[in-house]
Amino acid sequence: MKQPASSEVDRAAGERTLLDRTFKISLTLKGLDGVLELIGGVLLLLVSPAQLGAVARFLTQHELSQDPNDLIANALVHYSGTLTASASLFGAVYLLLHGLVKVVLVWAVLRDKFWAYPWMVAFLLVFIAYQGYQLVVGFTIGMLLLTAFDIFIVWLTMHEYRAHKARHAQAQLR
């Protein structure tokens, strides 16, 4: 059997290292996003809708004094003013559960737990489907970028899962 040339092995190892780093960085970003969701969920539990409205008004007052038609500042004031206690509780529970699942799965995948790879893919596919629905209902660039990032992470996770399976199968043959 012909052995691959040294440059081919070096190139494959370099691509593997770059892909591994990209995977780990992407997962770390996803994990940090999960931590931020946990913090947001806790804040929604601790801060009343009226307090959130007051904070939104305080944070946007300077911008609105400069530009009373500022779309983002007006939307923030509007939505914070219409937030109900039940919507705040729903948002808190959603963020806490979503953030917790994300942090646990990212931690497990980064620790190379074999069981976590399919769960990570399934979890992200459910949210990609939901995000796709949100894009159809009301397109935003932010949602499009989040969906593209999640699709990229699914691809990377599947790639790593297959490599993990191949390494495990090779180890079993030895």
> For the segment 22-77, what is each residue's pLDDT rounded down to a tens digit?
999 999 999 999 999 999 999 999 998 889 889 888 989 988 899 888 888 888 88
Cα angle value 24/169/14 (rounded, 5°): 40
> For the segment 96-146, what is each residue's pLDDT rounded down to a tens digit?
998 999 999 999 999 989 999 999 999 999 989 998 998 999 888 988 998
pLDDT band per the 50, 70, 90 thresholds, residue 87: confident
pLDDT for the residue 34: 93
Residue 127 structure tokens: 């949210």
pLDDT for the residue 113: 92
Is residue 9's pLDDT more than 50? Answer: no
pLDDT band per the 50, 70, 90 thresholds, residue 18: confident
* Among 120, 126, 96, residue whose Cα is nearest residue 34: 96
Burial level of 158, CB count in 10 A (0-12/13-18/19+)? Answer: middle
pTM over 0.85: no
pLDDT for the residue 13: 53
Which range is least confidently modeled, 4-13, 79-88, 89-98? Answer: 4-13
Is residue 1's pLDDT more than 80? Answer: no
| Cα–Cα distance measured from residue 45 to residue 90, given in angstroms and rounded to the nearest whole number | 10
CA distances (Å), 165 to each of 28, 112, 160, in order?
Answer: 22, 11, 9
> For the segment 140-157, what is each residue's pLDDT rounded down to a tens digit?
898 899 899 999 999 999
